[in-house]
Amino acid sequence: QVQLQESGPGLVRPSQTLSLTCTVSGGSISSGSYYWSWIRQPAGKGLEWIGRIYTSGSANYNPSLKSRVTMSIDTSKNQFSLNLTSVTAADTAVYYCARVIFPFFFDYWGRGALVTVSS
């Protein structure tokens, strides 16, 4: 069974870049016609889709975050990553990675990583 695990710093300073990595196990990130996504959830709030990336490196982002988001994929390591620039306290959230069945059905999720933006 596919498993996803988020990793990265739990604390990021305001105006800096938030960087997270999702490691996929139980299957190759390159196999099948899957996309790979990031989703976040601020405390006490709803889920917000951030973006998705295909094994080719082609990515789509939520227009609300597009100017600050970059995703990348490393098939040799079975990982994909998220970079979110110029963070503020509003970016404090639990960040989830997920596998995507086209177009946007998230069938497997990671447990999530809490990232706090604070000085």
Q: How far is the CB of 95 from other proteins (least distance, A)?
A: 12
Smallest Cα–Cα separation from 116: which of 10, 41, 40?
10
Would you count residue 107 as binding other proteins (CB under 8 A)? yes
Would you count residue 10 as binding other proteins (CB under 8 A)? no
Kindly identify the residues of this chain, within the stretch 29-68, that bind other proteins according to CB under 8 A: 46-49, 60, 62-64
* CA 111 vs CA 3, 6, 85, 86, 108: distances in Å: 9, 7, 23, 25, 10
The residue (of 18 and 49) whose beta carbon lies closer to other proteins is: 49
3 state DSSP class of 89: helix
What's 91's DSSP letter? G
* CA 64 vs CA 47, 60, 82: distances in Å: 14, 12, 15
Q: How far is the CB of 67 from other proteins (least distance, A)?
A: 15
The residue (of 14 and 107) whose beta carbon lies closer to other proteins is: 107
Using the rule CB under 8 A, give the single segment among 7-15, 71-79, 82-90, 97-105 that binds other proteins: 97-105
CA separation for the pair 100, 54 (Å, rounded): 9
The residue (of 52 and 92) whose beta carbon lies closer to other proteins is: 52
Residues engaged in binding other proteins (CB under 8 A): 4, 46-49, 60, 62-64, 96, 98, 101, 103-112
